[in-house]
Structures are given as C-alpha cells and as structure tokens.
Structure 1
C-alpha cells in the first residue's frame, strides 16, 4: 500500500537550448528526456520503486528497464523477443544497478549516433537481414517513447514519496 507522500519539489529543468540543426535538436531533446527519467528513478526508495501503483503493474524500475531494452533494440539492433517482460526487473536489481545499466546503454547508443551524419540514412545494424529505421525515425520514436514513460515516471514517483520536478 502506498502511503500519503510528503511533498518535495525539485526545481524543473527547462527544455534544452539546442543547436540549429535538426540532428542537434532531436538529440538534445532525447538526451533531456533520458536525463529526466533517470533522475526520476535515481534515489527512489525500496521497495516502493518496484511496487505497482496502477492496475497494469507498472513501476519505476520496470519503466527504466523497459527503456533500456528499447534503446538497445532501436539503436544497437538487439532483438527483443518478449516486450512485456522488459517491464519486469530481476529481484536482485536495485535502483543503482538499473540506473547505471540505462546510462551505459544510452552512452553506447550515443556512440552509434555519433557516427550517423545523415538523418535519412538507416541506422547501422548488427543483425544482418533486419531492416533498420532511418536515424530520423529512430530519434523521433525514442523521443516519443522516452517522453511517454517519463510522464508515467513523474506520476509514479510523486505517488511514492511526493517528489516532483525534473
């Protein structure tokens, strides 16, 4: 059962002021959202961080674990066979481990993106024979996916301990 949280407010971080190119804008907003969701999970208390607050079973650790898998699938070409399972974390995974794994995956994805100079070109893929999305599509999809789950994380974190803001 979730307790009535004591309200704490973090200062909101405004949207990024990115460079003028489309690639700089897309990457700037994606990194902004990545940082936002990682910050929502980082420091969240156990066991509430893995306690479902909604009927779907969604919890903070599961959201970040899912996004780790999505980043790996989209940017690194890793195959995911069971998407619903990506929302479940192993019992031994704690906040520090899940946040570190996400940040490491983001670093790997950014290294791939650093090699992509044409937004219309397909992403490099490690799985031959699998169609790769364009860099533009991948960035736009990840902004949508990360933003959607960052919103979920905002609500879940507020229910856990009253923390708001980015």
Structure 2
C-alpha cells in the first residue's frame, strides 16, 4: 500500500499504527525500574504511558462492541498508576493484545458508523480514529521526551 495515495480508512489506520509502533519502540528494552521512574512532576512514566494508552484503546474502540452502558475504562489518574506486576514486558504484551482487538473491532464498522459514548452523545468510527491518532501521537511525544531523560535515546525509534 502506498500510504500517500491510499484511501481514507487506510491512511487513518496507517497513522494510528505508526504512532502505536513509535510508543512501543520508545519503551521496549528499557529496564522496568527505569520505565517506572518518574522524571516529571506528573504521573508520566514510560510504563505509565503504555498502561494509559491501553486503557484509552479500550475506552474508545472497545466501546463499539461493549455498548453505551459500559463504564468508561479510564478512571482518571488510575490508568497511570503502576503496580508491582506492571513490567515492561507485561504492559507491552497487553497493549499489543488490546490494539489487536481494537483493529478487529474497527474492521467490523464503517467510518460513518456511530456509537454512543459517555463523554459525547455519539461519535463516528472516523472521529475515534482521529482522536486516537491525536492521543497516541501526543503520548508518543511524551515518551520521546521521557526516554531521552531516561537514557539519552532520541529519534522516532530510539
């Protein structure tokens, strides 16, 4: 597929997958202790970014099949808080499974299909894609900064 000339859906999927991949590359290989270390006043850590984006994937894509009555997956700051079992390996595996399920769910819908959401009366799959690209890209940028503060690695896949 030539991303520059692909159809709308393929472009949305490609950009979202690109930023998902950037996040994974920013975290993979970082020791658990470093990935969970807070270098900023906020709760933002490399491991926390993966955990948070896993919850965000569920809150938007999985809602398509969970229905409007399902409680939001994101409980504010809770999605950033790490437990003893939140290793890099475990978090990345769960993120991969969650993104895979998101892709499968989205494949069953058209871009104009809508779903109710607790935060908005209705959203289309197109809107979900755009929002998730924005959310994932923003947090991939955070991961870029935190990774540089952690060990000096820079660049898209550094």
Same fold (TM over 0.5): yes
Q: Give the match for residue 26 of structure 2.
A: 40
* Cα distance change of structure 1 residues 122 and 36 upon mapping to structure 2, 3 Å threshold: same
Higher relative contact order (CA 8 A, sep 6+): 1
Q: Give the match for residue 119 of structure 1.
A: 111
- Larger mean CA deviation between 141-150 and 81-90 belongs to 81-90
CA deviation profile, 1:3-31 (whole Å, cap 9, x unmatched): xxxxxxxxxxxxx8355211110110000
Q: 1:162 aligns with which of 119, 131, 152?
A: 152
Q: Could you tell me the TM-score, scaled by structure 2's length?
A: 0.85
Q: How does 1:6-155 map to 2 (within 5 A)?
A: 17=3, 20-77=6-63, 79-80=72-73, 82-116=75-109, 118-123=110-115, 131-155=121-145
Q: More helix per residue: 1 or 2?
A: 2
Q: Give the match for residue 67 of structure 2.
A: none
* Cα distance change of structure 1 residues 81 and 73 upon mapping to structure 2, 3 Å threshold: closer
* Cα distance change of structure 1 residues 92 and 86 upon mapping to structure 2, 3 Å threshold: same
Q: How many pairs align?
A: 146
SS of residue matched to 1:119: coil
Contact 2:59 2:74 in 1 (8 A): no
| Long gaps (5+) in structure 1 | 1-15
| Long gaps (5+) in structure 2 | 64-69
Deviation for aligned residue 1:131: 4.8
Q: Could you tell me the TM-score, scaled by structure 1's length?
A: 0.81
* Cα distance change of structure 1 residues 72 and 30 upon mapping to structure 2, 3 Å threshold: same
Contact 1:18 1:24 in 2 (8 A): no
- The CA RMSD over aligned residues, in Å, is 1.9
